[in-house]
A and B are shown apart, each in its own frame.
Chain A
Amino acid sequence: DAGVIQSPRHEVTEMGQEVTLRCKPISGHDYLFWYRQTMMRGLELLIYFNNNVPIDDSGMPEDRFSAKMPNASFSTLKIQPSEPRDSAVYFCASSGLSRETQYFGPGTRLLVL
């Protein structure tokens, strides 16, 4: 099993640019979660999907952030426009039959200059 795949692993961009983070969940998993990790705020849930439908986006910080899941094997998290305070590690996780266990990807380290 390939596990959760995220791309890119590292992203450096300038303030105001659009950033798109990508995630491929484990095959057969029907839940997908996006988290953000920062020194100040720790690990925060941004949004999660069930069967490609967004269920809870209450953690999305503001309208600059958007997430989509066009099919069962792909999700994106987009930031437009990006700001320096968006610098963080963004994790994607998925879960399946064992609902309570989430499997995490390696993360995308984002730096906004």
Chain B
Amino acid sequence: AQSVTQLGSHVSVSEGALVLLRCNYSSSVPPYLFWYVQYPNQGLQLLLKYTTGATLVKGINGFEAEFKKSETSFHLTKPSAHMSDAAEYFCAVSGRKAAGNKLTFGGGTRVLVKP
């Protein structure tokens, strides 16, 4: 069984400040890891993913995340927040089955960006 824990359901940052969203996972097999973003009244959009290889993954909109196996973590960061980053962010995990991958999502973290 897999599970995802996102620390903090709400995060408030100032424009230009560092954005740090925490994600820890539990998986009995080496996982695939994802961050999705959801803007108000929209579907989920993939920000970035880790499958294999380099543990520091860069995504869209200046976001990056680092897979740390020893800490079972996949925290999301952005050096400088922009007003357009206000959204809800979801961390997700799936197994490495060739025949389809079921996503298990964390509870989400809503980001508020203050001017």
Contact = CB atoms under 8 A, between A and B. Distances in A.
Instruction: Specify whether A and B are partners.
Output: yes
B54 to A, nearest CB: 16
Interface string B33-71: 010100001111110010100000000000000000000
Contact of A104 (B44, B51, B101, B106): B44
Contacts of B44: 91, 93, 104
B103 A106 contact: no
B29 interface: no
A100 B32 contact: yes
Given A42-B105, A42-B107, A43-B90, A104 B100 contact: no
Interface residues of A, number: 23
Interface string A77-111: 00000000000000101010001111111110100
A69 interface: no
Contacts, number: 53
Nearest to B42: A106
B43 A106 contact: yes
B100 A50 contact: yes
B49 A101 contact: yes
Nearest to B44: A104
Interface of A: 4, 31, 33, 42-43, 45, 48, 50, 55-56, 91, 93, 95, 99-107, 109
16 contacts: A33-B103, A42-B105, A42-B108, A43-B90, A43-B108, A45-B103, A48-B100, A48-B102, A55-B100, A56-B102, A91-B43, A100-B32, A100-B34, A100-B51, A104-B45, A106-B42
Given A45-B104, A103-B46, 15 more contacts: A4-B43, A42-B106, A42-B108, A43-B90, A45-B102, A56-B102, A91-B43, A91-B44, A95-B101, A99-B98, A99-B100, A100-B32, A100-B34, A100-B51, A106-B42
